Structure 1
Amino acid sequence: MNALKDTIWWHLYPLGFLGAAPIAGQQQDAPRRPLSTLEPWLDYAAELGCTGIALGPIFASETHGYDTVDHFRIDPRLGDDEDFDLLAAAAKKRGLRLLLDGVFNHVGRGFEPFERAVREGPDSEAAGWFHLRWKRGADAPPRAGVFEGHDALVTLNHHEPAVADYVERVMNHWLARGAAGWRLDAAYAVPPSFWKQVLPRVRARFPDAYFVGEVIHGDYVRMVADSTLDSLTQYELWKAIWSALNDQNFFELSAALERHEGFLQHMTPMTFLGNHDVTRIASQLQDERCLPHALAVLMTVGGSPSIYAGDEQAFRGVKEHRAGGDDAVRPEFPPSPSGLAPYGQSMHALHQELISLRRQRPWLCDGRTEVLSLTNTALVYRTSARADPRQSIDVALNIGAKRLKLPHASFELLAGGLHNARNIVPHHGWAIGHIGQ
């Protein structure tokens, strides 16, 4: 099992965070805020309690970073190699692991091998890198296979050995420069056999490297087994948390926790309440009083938790399915944390408290969760160490209009709140601790 599984990630989308121009060509001068200017935010992440920084795409691209044109070059809107090296050194100094976002399913049309394939024709070496359909007897460019209907995102041919060699070189290059691992974008769209071919070759040089795949749905366990990924994104749990809270249906969350327990027997998934692709949790929840409940679940069940930058301040933002529809969830941040508005202080403090609680119990990363009692509006569960069930914590969630009386003698409180007696959870309240017998 990879040593980075117990990392608590602070995830940010650099192009938005640093206010880069939305289109690469629009920024003619030096970057307004290069990667190296993130250093004040590294202190912020460390003080929050996080132990890793998960960066969105930072390599040369045409627009949003997921249309990469050169994986060996830092996007000029974010600086250059020196800026990356300064950031990597600053993260290492603070004990923060650095996770990079690798887009290896597709590339932008400005990717040099693609331009070469179009220029040199179907018999060229570069043509084998892509899924191209050529028109007979015409000088028209070929039709390229693209990712999920996005014409700007040309899919790579993962059965081409040169593509595997290229991805291996890219991964090794940045691991050698200080990265600890890779988030593999759209990993679900890549044949698992490709990862199974490439990742062991990278691990031969960097045995501690960590690989987490973006997988939205499907057979999680089989995907990990067939690909040799260390982890994947736990979208099932993400959906169940906010959906159960909105619908007052803890049966949905209970079922998701049961499935999550099955996943944990094979891997440690990356868990989250938000990321750069989804509506922020503070906007997703219909009742803001449920924000602490959502965070309590994230921090008390197995997984490698990821906090999307701004969620710890209760930022709002709705994802829309249109051009520019990600902008609201990928905003620019101030140059330093001192520029944050004060409105999110209570949520920030709660994140610090629950992250601290989790870090004091490292066994939680692969802890076993069992439901103790369940109704539509009340859920009590226990997470215990897989190797020693005597190490455990109990979580009581109440989203009903009435108080929840726990069927136990007492509750030793670690976080949250109880009403007078030590075994009554207030309406719309929550508590983390130890149930007494």
Structure 2
Amino acid sequence: MKKIVSAAIVASVMAGSLFAADAKITLNARSHYTPYEKSFVKDNSTAENDTQKISQFAKSSDAMDIEINNDYAGAHIGLALNGGEGTVAVDTKYYGWMNFGNAKVTAGVFESVFTKRQNTTINEEGLTDDGNIKNYGLSKILAITTGAGATNASGASFMVDANNIGANCGDRVWSGIFDYTFADVAGGKLLLKAAIVDSVTAAGKSGKNEATNAYRTDTTDDTTTTVGTGFAFDAALQREDFSVEGMVRTSGYYNIATGVYFTASKLIPDTTAVLGFTYGSQSKKNDGKALAGTTAVNGAYNAYAIDWRFVNKSIDKVTLVLNGKYESLTAKTDDAKAETGLYVVGEIGYALSDLIDLGFDAGIYMCDLDDEDKSDKGENYFQIRPSVGIKAGKGAKITAALNYKQLLNTGDIADTATTEIRKISVPVIFRVKM
């Protein structure tokens, strides 16, 4: 009996401590189902090259976030159910923070983004929310043919999602961030931020690997110097009518990235517009030498990206979205020519009623805009995605879409190749967010 009473007392004390702070629990249960999918290649005469998949369970992603905070500190943990495996694991969000007046210190694995990405989509998984277009800085789809062949911008991966200070090479990693807010500057707030960021491996996980240009080891006759941490600095002025952000970061291996991002919320009525410019450079140190444990060769590049985003809600129940990115990457080798890409994605969203949302997305992806290699192997493509979303209530929605993707430059693809030149699919997404 005494043990039961003691346990009850301990439980009461723990519960009292918990509820002395503000506790918030959110749940995002999302499942994907693809009842129809069909792919085509150049030669549609064989069954192997003309496949149809019925009742295909594509993937699932469930997440629960728990956050507890008070006036001076807080902690956040994200729990995720791995798709299809039925195992619960800690998600890539696990962090805590402390407040010291206008100063704040945050440490853990999380995202730290000031300029909003404006990747608005009325229904689930719209094209404007696709990973190829939503982040500022370089994309992961630029068709690079310098060096050892197409590398999907891995040579300048430190510029992917460049203004996400809590990430490295586009992947969330452990970060320690100090920020300070000046409350009254130029009619708004001035935010200053300094960060240390962990390195990443080629697979995108925290670790020590030179292949992603995020880690450095210098060896001389007598000394080995190892650098496994990146640094970032960010300053932003935030006002009601506009905000401007400037950042500089280095993620290791002789690279540096800078960026300026401008957001206007009242210059055009009912429109939020973002214009961003990101520039990065990587030196030629160790160029031409294979990295330890890999076959990769550290390259040297100059690269930049221009992002623009527009969200307009001037028409009742209609949302217009236009996202674009132009990017250029030039290897620091003799007579190297720039590899360029241009991507434009848009959406028209219409709230038909309180229960039904209609969307139409379209995008063109010129992943090899310059065609310096004079090769037509399907680097460029377009995609359309009409969709309908049916809501049971706030945060509960079922979305059905029709996806169509078509490669544009296929002249050098052999008729007997298995390269997928177009694809039709019907994804259904079930989502409950509470």
Structure label with greater radius of gyration? 2
Is TM (by shorter chain) over 0.5?
no
TM-score (norm 1): 0.29
TM-score under structure 2 normalisation? 0.29
Whose strand fraction is larger, Structure 1's or Structure 2's?
2
